[in-house]
Amino acid sequence: MATIVVDVMLKPEILDPQGKAVASALPRLGFTFATDVRQGKRFEITVDGEPTAAQLAEVEKAAEKLLSNPVIENFTVRVEK
Amino acid sequence: MKIGVVTFPGTLDDRDAARAVRYAGAEAIELWHDDADLKGVDAVILPGGFSYGDYLRCGAISRFSPVMEPLIAAAKGGMPLLGICNGFQVLAEAHLIPGALTRNQHLHFLCTDQKIRIENNNTAWTSSFSAGQEIVIPLKNGEGSYQCDDETLKMLEGEGRIIARYVGENPNGSRNLIAGISNERGNIVGLMPHPEHAVDALTGPGTDGLGFFTSVLKAMVK
């Protein structure tokens, strides 16, 4: 059993109001380290055995078609050990 | 004249949309998300609500419902299709219109009577208005901020495809105050505010919304 992780983030040029809200909440709690925060989504997909190249290609397709909206989002696919 | 109104799980405004269709003088036909059957309708409305609980992204799961397959084909063939609010989000997810609807810039859910200006009255859904006409209809959304890249925005402006703009302060952060846009042909329109809630003075801010529904009747007669 392995886990394929798909991370989806808004493209850098798309305003992220949720990230901004988090960024402005941090200093109110005394956390002053952040100059910016962006918020995204993470999908953990479980498959049997080691993922094959074909499976990963399918996940790429699914990420483009359903998990992300390519108009406003980028995604990355990786296998978690 | 038969106008279909699609109900997805979580749709809220299908009843009001059907009522607006009847007020305009057409027959409202209920369409079910799980039936790949348009029941011979002449036009379709994707109404507002929270289809599939807005899970994943607003409209992202509805966009792959069985009804969408014949609907996308018919709309690409020229059938009038109006997406209101969540329906607009479904149109964007189906890439029938460019851009995307994102979280309101101020993060708050909006519910207000909003003044908008009709910028293009040459579409299937706006011909009953005069160009530049200002109307008031309800606006209620959490993710109504229209976003697209600069090139798309320039194209929409250049081709007159911004069919309605918010008047006054920007309510949700939409680029160029966009309240609604159309496809190139003008048969598909996505609109964030709700004309179907403004067809009867008893239950809405007025009857300004009715024009969207009478427009499509004219378009179908042509």
**pLDDT average, residue stretch B88-102:** 97
The per-residue pLDDT for B222 is 63
Residue with tokens 């709690």: A29
Beta bridge partners of B110: B141
Beta bridge partners of B182: B189
Contact in structure between B130 and B120 (CB atoms under 8 Å): no
**pLDDT average, residue stretch B110-128:** 97
Q: pLDDT tens across B123-170, in order?
A: 999 999 999 999 999 999 999 999 999 999 999 999 999 999 999 999
The per-residue pLDDT for A34 is 95
Q: Cβ contacts (< 8 Å) between B105 and chain A: which residues?
A: 15, 17
The per-residue pLDDT for A2 is 93
Rg from Cα positions in chain A: 16
Helix or strand holding residue A44 (H, E): strand A40-47
Q: Cβ contacts (< 8 Å) between B57 and chain A: which residues?
A: 69
Average pLDDT, chain B: 97
Class of domain A2-80: alpha beta
Domain boundaries, chain B: 2-221
**pLDDT average, residue stretch B101-114:** 94
Domain boundaries, chain A: 2-80
Annotated active-site residue B85? The verdict is: yes
Q: Is B105 on the interface with A (CB under 8 A)?
A: yes
pTM: 0.94
**pLDDT average, residue stretch B187-194:** 98
- Considering the domain delimited by B2-221, tell me its CATH architecture: 3-Layer(aba) Sandwich (3.40)
- Chain A and chain B share a number of CB contacts under 8 A equal to 37
**pLDDT average, residue stretch A15-24:** 93
Q: Cβ contacts (< 8 Å) between B63 and chain A: which residues?
A: none
- Which of A14, A17, A66 lies at the smallest CB-CB distance from B60? A66
> B53: buried, middle or exposed (CB in 10 Å: 19+, 13-18, 0-12)?
exposed
ipTM of the complex: 0.86
Distance CA B81, CA B3 (A): 10
Q: Catalytic residue, from B85, B93, B148, B197: name it.
A: B85
Q: pLDDT tens across B36-50, in order?
A: 999 999 999 999 999
